[in-house]
């Protein structure tokens, strides 16, 4: 008998001691980080609200109780019963049954009514039909991405359960070594922006944190072939943890499955869905530009199938000697500061990913309170000594002035931006400005993925600021449903017609002018001195956006031919919209961090920015700081 099977036998014995004899337990198994208990008496479990909490406390594991498939009420009968139990005030929009897990997903406009006070209605549903309710709020804007991901996972239920059981056994395996140490190896994004990738290693475990592309540098991927990563075989990687879905952190995650990796990805639920959206677009963009993408769409599906989603604050075993907790990073929807607790109190490491420390219109600021942190791996995008961004209010006023001036001349305001995060911030500013009369009412075209990314945001309002979450579900005040927002799915001729027409605002990917529909818009509005190009995102070295920002009047066309795009329109840079903390924000994040880290590794920034931030944190706060190069390894303990 394996050590995992022995563990399960011991767990079953403990469960038998705690669970009343009237409640049968038909099976106990690990599925990913969770201990799953199957029972033929789900109604009895549901009736005893304290029982699962008692078991979780005694076993110190995340526990899910599922009904034995043989005791489930047929879906047709169960759906009718659920609709009888749940008040019409809930506004149920969809009910979907998962036979593999025994869960019924109930989408409702008012999920609190489905749950009931203290979970009373949810327990009543289980007691009546046996199924375990998973209650979610119906999104006000339908997202094809979310629907496709959920549908795909539903179709792959059987294989996904096999994956989860294999992962569960891997997590709970016996440690291979009694040695105790922690190492961090940098595979990218050191003294550069992009291609984020790190390996955190112990004697028993290897975990890859992020795996992204480098903007503006075709073919520069993380150093995946070194022994610490795939060079020793893909099976030596136990898990991938994804801080967020932007391509400089996520683009090459599907490539891992092309290279033989078959393990889990841990991230938040919106990050999982945005990973699918952005990497599929990454493939399409490569094909459109005549480049061969590094993987196909089937590898994106493999990545989605292997993803295990976590909520902020959940402490989760992901290896025999590593616990993971995700915290809000304030950067984009679902972005995370990832915290690793290694061993039995041996060492704690936090990776900031990309952070924004102060609140924005869209998100709460990054969390920096932890039980313990000895080492912080900190982004340094705006870490330079002069990288102080304009106050958010001043930035918004400047942006509105650009819109007013351009509208008066009859021109187009072209906003190249990342479709996830910055686009939604801009939409919130424009919606309020038009409502309050600060700018004229004019059409705002949302090209590329902007509208779909916005739909994903409205699917996960609990990840947004509380006041915005409330407004999203009020049709009259939902800022994303303002009449002026017009999703655009046309061709170049239609873009030219809009550019030659009346004043308008266009929000289009990508933010660095290196790909995407923004280049088509730039062809049409670039020669027009009455129009304006407004940079709100960071422009990495080597990108067309950085060159235009520095005064270059021509950029290559989309197909890379010798023809150039003439840039005669006004170019404005407004830095207060960035999803990254500026120098002051980074210092505040570290200075108010509890507890203070002993060591800080400054990464993900141009070399000068990283050196400046590292030096500043050392001199101002007496911290041991480092400015790693790619392929450096740091040992702790």
SS (H, E, C) 502-521: CCEEEEECCCCCCCCCHHHH
Q: 235 CB contacts (<8 Å, ≥6 apart)? A: 260, 261, 262
In-domain check, residue 120? yes
- Alpha-carbon distance of 265 to 252, in angstroms, equals 13
pLDDT at 371 over 90: yes
Same domain, 261 and 371: yes
Query: Which of 19, 45, 70 is a domain's end point?
Result: 70
Rg (CA), the chain: 25
How many CB atoms are closer than 10 A to CB 94?
10
Q: What single-letter DSSP state applies at residue 582?
A: -
pLDDT at 43 over 80: no
Query: Which of 557, 577, 597 is a domain's end point?
Result: 577
In-domain check, residue 531? yes
Query: Which of 16, 41, 70 is a domain's end point?
Result: 70
Same domain, 370 and 314: yes
Same domain, 32 and 83: no
In-domain check, residue 159? no
Q: What is the pLDDT of residues 594-631, one digit of tens each?
A: 999 999 999 999 999 999 999 999 999 999 999 999 99
Q: Residue 29's domain is classified under what CATH number?
A: 3.30.300.230
pLDDT at 538 over 90: no
In-domain check, residue 166? no
- Alpha-carbon distance of 463 to 454, in angstroms, equals 13
Beta strands at 412-416 and 504-508: parallel, antiparallel or unpaired: parallel
- Alpha-carbon distance of 33 to 142, in angstroms, equals 31
Q: Residue 120's domain is classified under what CATH number?
A: 3.30.300.20
In-domain check, residue 161? no
Q: At what angle do helices 144-155 and 450-459 cross, to 10 degrees?
A: 60
Among 511, 575, 193, 586, CA closest to 358:
586
Backbone conformation region of residue 191, classed left if phi is above 0, alpha if psi is from -120 to 50, else beta: left
Same domain, 84 and 49: no
In-domain check, residue 158? no
Same domain, 403 and 537: yes
- Alpha-carbon distance of 435 to 498, in angstroms, equals 23
Same domain, 106 and 198: no
Same domain, 100 and 227: no
Q: What is the pLDDT of residues 542-575, one digit of tens each?
A: 788 888 888 887 776 555 554 677 888 999 989 8
Same domain, 355 and 367: yes
- Alpha-carbon distance of 254 to 221, in angstroms, equals 13
Domain encompassing residue 407: 392-577
Encoded tokens for 416 = 């190249």
Residue 409 contacts residue 530 (beta carbons within 8 Å) = yes
Q: Is the peptide bond before 542 cis (omega within 30 degrees of 0)?
A: no
3-state SS, one letter per residue, for 516-571: CCHHHHHHHHCCCCCCEEEECCCCCCCCHHHHHHCCCCEEECCCCCCCEEECCCEE
Q: What is the pLDDT of residues 326-357, one digit of tens each?
A: 999 999 999 999 999 999 999 999 999 999 99
Encoded tokens for 452 = 């779909």
Number of domains in the chain: 4
Q: 543 CB contacts (<8 Å, ≥6 apart)? A: 215, 216, 512, 513, 514
| pLDDT for res 154 | 84
Same domain, 255 and 372: yes
In-domain check, residue 149? no
Same domain, 560 and 585: no
Same domain, 422 and 533: yes
Percent of the chain predicted with pLDDT > 70: 98
Q: Residue 422's domain is classified under what CATH number?
A: 3.40.50.10890
Q: What is the pLDDT of residues 465-510, one digit of tens each?
A: 988 988 887 778 899 999 999 999 889 899 999 999 999 999 999 8
Same domain, 401 and 547: yes
Q: What single-letter DSSP state applies at residue 328?
A: E
- Alpha-carbon distance of 493 to 384, in angstroms, equals 43
In-domain check, residue 145? no
Mean of pLDDT values over 290-312: 95
pLDDT at 213 over 80: yes
């Amino acid at each position: 008998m394996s050590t995992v099977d022995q563990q399960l036998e011991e767990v079953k014995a403990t469960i038998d001691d705690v669970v009343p004899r009237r409640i049968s337990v038909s099976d106990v198994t690990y599925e990913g980080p969770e201990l799953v208990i199957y029972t033929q008496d789900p109604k009895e479990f549901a009736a005893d609200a304290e029982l699962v909490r008692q078991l979780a406390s005694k076993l110190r594991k995340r526990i899910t109780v599922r009904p034995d498939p043989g005791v489930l009420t047929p879906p047709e009968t169960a759906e009718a019963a659920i609709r009888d139990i749940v008040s019409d005030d809930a506004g149920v929009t969809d009910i979907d049954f998962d036979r593999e897990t025994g869960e019924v997903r109930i989408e409702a406009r008012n999920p609190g009514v489905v749950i009931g006070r203290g979970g009373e209605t949810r327990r009543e549903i289980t007691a009546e039909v046996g199924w375990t309710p998973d209650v979610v709020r119906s999104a006000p804007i339908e997202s094809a991405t979310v629907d496709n991901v959920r549908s795909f996972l539903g179709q792959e239920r059987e294989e996904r359960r096999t994956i989860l059981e294999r992962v569960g056994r891997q997590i709970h395996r016996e440690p291979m070594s009694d040695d105790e140490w922690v190492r961090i190896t940098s595979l990218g994004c050191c003294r550069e922006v992009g291609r984020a990738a790190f390996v955190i290693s112990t004697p028993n475990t290897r975990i890859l944190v992020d795996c992204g592309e480098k903007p503006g540098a075709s073919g520069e991927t993380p150093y995946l072939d070194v022994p610490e990563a795939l060079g020793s075989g893909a099976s030596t990687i136990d898990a991938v943890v994804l801080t967020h879905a932007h391509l400089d952190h996520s683009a090459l995650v599907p490539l891992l499955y092309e290279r033989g990796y078959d393990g889990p990805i841990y991230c938040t639920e919106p990050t999982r869905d945005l990973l699918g959206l952005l990497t599929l677009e990454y493939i399409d963009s490569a094909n459109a530009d005549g480049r061969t993408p590094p993987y196909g769409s089937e590898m994106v599906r493999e990545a989605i199938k292997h993803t295990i989603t976590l909520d902020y604050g959940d402490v989760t075993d992901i290896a025999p000697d590593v616990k993971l907790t995700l915290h809000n990073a304030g950067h984009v929807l679902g972005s995370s500061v990832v915290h690793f607790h290694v061993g039995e109190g041996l060492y704690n490491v936090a990776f900031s990913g990309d952070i924004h420390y102060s609140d924005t219109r869209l998100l709460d600021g990054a969390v920096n309170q932890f039980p313990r942190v000895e080492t912080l791996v900190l982004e340094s995008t705006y870490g330079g000594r002069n990288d102080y961004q304009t106050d958010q209010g001043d930035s918004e006023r400047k942006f509105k002035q650009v819109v007013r001036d351009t509208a008066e001349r009859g021109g187009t305001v072209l906003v190249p931006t990342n479709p996830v995060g910055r686009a939604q911030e801009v939409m919130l500013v424009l919606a309020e400005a038009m409502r309050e009369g600060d700018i004229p009412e004019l059409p705002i075209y949302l090209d590329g993925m902007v509208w779909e990314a916005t739909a994903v945001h409205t699917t996960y309002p609990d990840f947004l600021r509380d006041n915005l979450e409330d407004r999203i579900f009020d049709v009259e005040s939902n800022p994303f449903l303002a009449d002026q927002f017009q999703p655009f799915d046309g061709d170049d001729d239609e873009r030219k017609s809009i550019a030659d027409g009346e004043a308008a605002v266009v929000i289009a990917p990508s933010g660095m002018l290196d790909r995407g529909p923004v280049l088509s818009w730039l062809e049409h509005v670039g020669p027009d001195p009455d129009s304006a190009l407004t940079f709100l995102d960071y422009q990495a070295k080597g990108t067309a956006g950085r060159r235009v920002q520095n005064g270059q009047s021509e950029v290559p066309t989309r197909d890379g031919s010798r023809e150039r795009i003439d840039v005669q329109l006004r170019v404005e840079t407004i830095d207060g919209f960035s999803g990254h903390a500026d120098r002051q924000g980074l210092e505040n994040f570290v200075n108010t961090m509890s507890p203070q880290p002993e060591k800080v590794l400054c990464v993900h920034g141009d070399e000068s920015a990283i050196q400046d931030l590292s030096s500043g944190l050392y001199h101002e706060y007496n911290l041991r700081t480092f400015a790693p190069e790619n392929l450096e390894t740091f040992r702790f303990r």
